[in-house]
Amino acid sequence: MNAFYFIRTPLQYLNSMELRNGNHSDVDKSILIILCDYKPSLLQFKQIIDADYWDEIFYIWDSFSEKAENSIINCLLSFSRKKRLDKIIKQIKSSDFVVWGNLSSNWCHYFLKKNISDNPVSILDDGFATINLMNKINNGDSLLHHHGLINKSEHFCLNPPKKIKLNDLCFFSVFDISKSVNIKIEKNNYDYWKLKIKSQLSIVKKMYFVGQPLVFLKILSKEQYSNILNQIFFYYSQKGYKCYYLPHRSCVLDYLDPNWEIIQYEMPLEYILINKSEDFPQIFATFYSTAVYNLSRLFDQNDISFHYWNINNHELFNKYSNNIFAYLESNPIERQQIYLTSRLN
């Protein structure tokens, strides 16, 4: 009996390690398949993956990373990606376990169409996208993305099923979602990664603001993003906190205030801080970054606070974040606070 892990992002890998060292720790072979050709993510994978934990590791799409930068070629590569994925799928037997990193992926739906495993397919969290996914399930909406050239090319190549059998799945989630949907849920308490945290943290009066690609997504303009962050930084500095900005890896930094102190990490923030003990910030703040929520679950026994800033008077921001803030408000945890930017004025 083997376990196959189909992973696309570093966060999915961190979550997969919980299953690898928990429920699936006694399988014959643990096989990791990285479904990624995005250079920054590939770099992170190669820094955080410990080969000693895996019997086999396959980067089945990494050779496409250069070609995938061209949008037209990237679409055509769907056929080559499918061919390589099929070679792995053919190795799966009915007794094997399968773990998949993103249910909203065309590739996951394509796999479910061909799946022969008798065991439920474990679906990992892919950040706050899980909350939006559950809302789609409750509303009976399509779980797949249909817009954009790459999605259309994948649909043409893969012909993923429009509906899937939710009873064949088991969600492995850090979120408290069992009361909202009638499907199998297994709670991820980060038991494995908590064992890696240093027993004594030296906490200092610093605030880390974890940024997001809101400008790249055209949710905010460069000026809006910078102005709001200036107000937030002023709020914390008035309380005596030294403030630092941690940009999302996809962001260009040309619109940031030159007075901000910036920290750029090449690996997932959760992974960095699990291995950090000195000079640990007392507050992590964000708009709605998944990293801050994950840190609140990892460091739930420490005197660290987690703050979310809701731009409540911005219609487009609310469209993207309403489900997330509704979840945070209905599932309060210790040392978690939600602030409204409208009250900063």
Find the CATH number of the domain harbouring 271.
3.40.50.11110
Q: Which of 146, 174, 194 is the last residue of a domain?
A: 194
Same domain, yes or no: 257 and 178: no
Nearest-angstrom CA–CA distance, 109 and 159: 9
Q: Indicate the number of domains in the chain.
A: 2
Tell me the whole-structure pTM to 2 decimals. Answer: 0.92
Same domain, yes or no: 121 and 213: no
Contact 132, 323 (CB under 8 A): yes
3-state secondary structure (DSSP) of residue 124: strand
Quote the CA–CA distance of 205 and 218 in Å, as a whole number: 33
CA 165, CA 143: separation in Å to the nearest integer? 12
Residues 230 and 179 in one domain: no
Domain CATH number, residue 138: 3.40.50
- Core vs surface per residue 152-165: b (16+ CB within 10 A) or e: ebbbebbebeeebe
Based on the fold, state whether residues 249 and 287 are members of the same structural domain. Answer: yes
Verify that 72 and 164 share a domain, yes or no: yes
Choose the final residue of a domain: 161, 194, 227: 194
For residues 200-215, b (16+ Cβ closer than 10 Å) or e, as one string? Answer: ebebeebbbbbbbebb
Residue 300 burial (10 A CB sphere; 0-12, 13-18, 19+) = middle
User: Order of strands, edge to edge, in the sheet holding 2-7?
Assistant: 56-59, 29-34, 2-7, 97-100, 121-124, 169-173, 184-187
Neighbours of 79 (CB within 10 A): 12
Check whether residue 184 and residue 224 sit in a common domain: no
CA distances from 211 to 151, 269, 297, 310 (A): 27, 11, 19, 13
Residues 219, 181 share a domain: no
Q: How far is it, in rounded angstroms, from Cα 256 to Cα 287? A: 16
Last residue of a domain, one of 194, 216, 248: 194
User: In this structure, are 174 and 37 located in the same domain?
Assistant: yes
Residues 265 and 189 placed together within one structural domain of the fold: no
How far apart are alpha carbons 169 and 93 in whole angstroms?
17
Is 168 found in the same domain as 46? yes
Residues 189 and 252 in one domain: no
Domain that holds residue 298: 203-344
Does one domain contain both 187 and 47?
yes
List per-residue pLDDT tens for the chain, 345 residues long.
999 999 999 999 999 999 998 878 888 999 999 999 988 889 999 999 999 999 999 999 999 989 888 888 999 999 999 999 999 999 999 999 999 998 999 999 999 999 999 999 999 988 898 898 888 888 888 888 778 888 889 999 999 988 888 888 999 999 987 665 668 889 999 999 999 887 778 889 999 999 999 998 899 999 999 999 999 999 999 999 999 999 887 676 777 778 889 998 888 899 999 988 788 999 999 999 999 999 999 987 778 999 999 999 899 999 989 999 999 999 888 889 999 998 886
- Both tokens of 337, joined, read 């606070």
